[in-house]
Amino acid sequence: MTDPLAWLQERAAARWAQGLRRTLRPRAAAEPLIDLASNDYLGLARDPRVVAGAVDAVRTWGAGSTGSRLVTGSTELHAELESELAAFCGVPAALVFSSGYTANLGAVAALSGRGSLIVSAAASHASLVDACRLSRARVVVVPTHDVVAVDAALADRTEQRALVVTDSVGSTDGDLAPLRELHAVCRARGAVLLADEAHGVGVRGPGGRGLVAEGGLAGQPDLVVTATLSKSLGSQGGAVLGATAVIEHLVDAARSFIFDTGLAPAATGGALAALRVLRSEPELPTRVLRAAATIARAAGVAGPTSAVVSVVLGDPDRAVAAAAECLRHGLRVGCFRPPSVPEGTSRLRLTAHAALSDAELARVTEVLDEVLSGART
């Protein structure tokens, strides 16, 4: 009998040959490593105040949320987080999802659908790409940050409704989207702009309120923000922020909200505690950007505009080898290969953290100087 899964081995062999096979490497609770791989930008995942917030939530509400948000999974704690998150970001309302991925799926699909147009930046995060595919809308992909191309796509549409989606801060390059220009085009063409602030909140904007707030766009009725609670806020989950009518619509129409179990109490309490830390320590984003500048100098790349420092090495095997060599020297770094990045642009992705000490940054400089001098030859 023919093995119906034989093709899996063929695919695996092809990935090995291309240097694209991935493996899981469980980490220990405590490791003597300098971490430049995680998205814990503000160093809050292990902050005692954040851990206490998560523990208190478990003691009060239990280990799980027990159901979807529309049944039993919506607690007073969720409402408290949504209220404070909306106030912090300067928007009327917020809705918490179980992840940033499901927040993007729910928001994009519910705000588009058949008979509408989505204009998506080419480098949009995979969650936005998948959301576009699930939306059943007509999708036009334009070069990232190309405002003229967005304007042309909106001008040529026959659909009444249109949605433009983009990352505010690129997840692999850390580059900044021209949000003010994109919003102006959307408003002129009667479209809605959706900005994914996963890598913006906690790093950019006044007190870490995001690139939308930095551009003076917070609270605009035709701008929707998605965010994650798993990066700067050191927890887990996602959120959509915007006009009250948008949030009410998502409660009724976002499938990844309606049919998903609510965010667990520990993650909700941890995220709320982290948000309060950020609000009380507005200097944290400055520390992140200062550390990122040091890392960029050490890596010999242009000064960063976010917590992400990207070092393109081209060949995937070269990037994997460089990451392994960094680890051997006590430095954990990210290694991004296709399909996460375009062919020929495999890279090390280095992420800055507010808690990095001067001694750790000095060691980072030593390791990167040694590793990259060999990787680039």
Q: What pLDDT is stored for residue 280 in this prediction?
A: 97
And the tokens for 95? Answer: 């809705």
Bond into 285 cis (ω within 30): no
DSSP per position, 232-258: TTSS--EEEEE-HHHHHHHHHH-HHHH
- d(Cα 143, Cα 135) in Å, to the nearest integer? 20
Task: Give the domain ranges of the chain.
Answer: 48-280, 283-375
Q: What pLDDT is stored for residue 235 in this prediction?
A: 98
And the tokens for 153? Answer: 């796509």
Q: Is 130 helix (H, G, I), strand (E, B) or coil?
A: helix
Q: What pLDDT is stored for residue 303 in this prediction?
A: 87
Please provide the CATH number assigned to the domain covering 283-375. Answer: 3.90.1150.10
Tens-level pLDDT at each residue, the chain (377 residues)? 789 999 999 999 999 888 888 888 888 888 889 999 999 999 999 999 999 999 999 999 999 999 999 999 999 999 999 999 999 999 999 999 999 999 999 999 999 999 999 999 999 999 999 999 999 999 999 999 999 999 999 999 999 999 999 999 999 899 999 999 999 999 999 999 999 999 999 999 999 999 999 999 999 999 999 999 999 999 999 999 999 999 999 999 999 999 999 999 999 999 999 999 999 999 999 999 999 999 999 999 998 999 999 999 998 999 999 999 999 999 999 999 998 888 899 999 999 999 999 999 999 999 999 999 877 66
Residues 6+ apart with CB under 8 A from 95: 82, 239, 240, 241, 247, 250, 251, 254, 257
- Per-residue buried b or exposed e for 231-269, using 16+ beta carbons within 10 Å of the residue's own CB: bbbbbbbbbbbbbeebbebbeeebebbbebebbbbbbbb
And the tokens for 347? Answer: 């890279």
Do residues 282 and 126 lie in contact, with contact meaning Cβ atoms separated by under 8 Å? no
CATH topology of domain 48-280: Aspartate Aminotransferase; domain 2 (3.40.640)
- d(Cα 239, Cα 242) in Å, to the nearest integer? 10
Question: For the CA atoms of 250, 279, 308, 329, what is the dihedral angle to 10 degrees?
Answer: -130
- d(Cα 240, Cα 109) in Å, to the nearest integer? 13
Q: What pLDDT is stored for residue 65 in this prediction?
A: 97
Q: What pLDDT is stored for residue 29 in this prediction?
A: 83
Q: Nearest-CA neighbor of 348 among 176, 110, 174?
A: 174
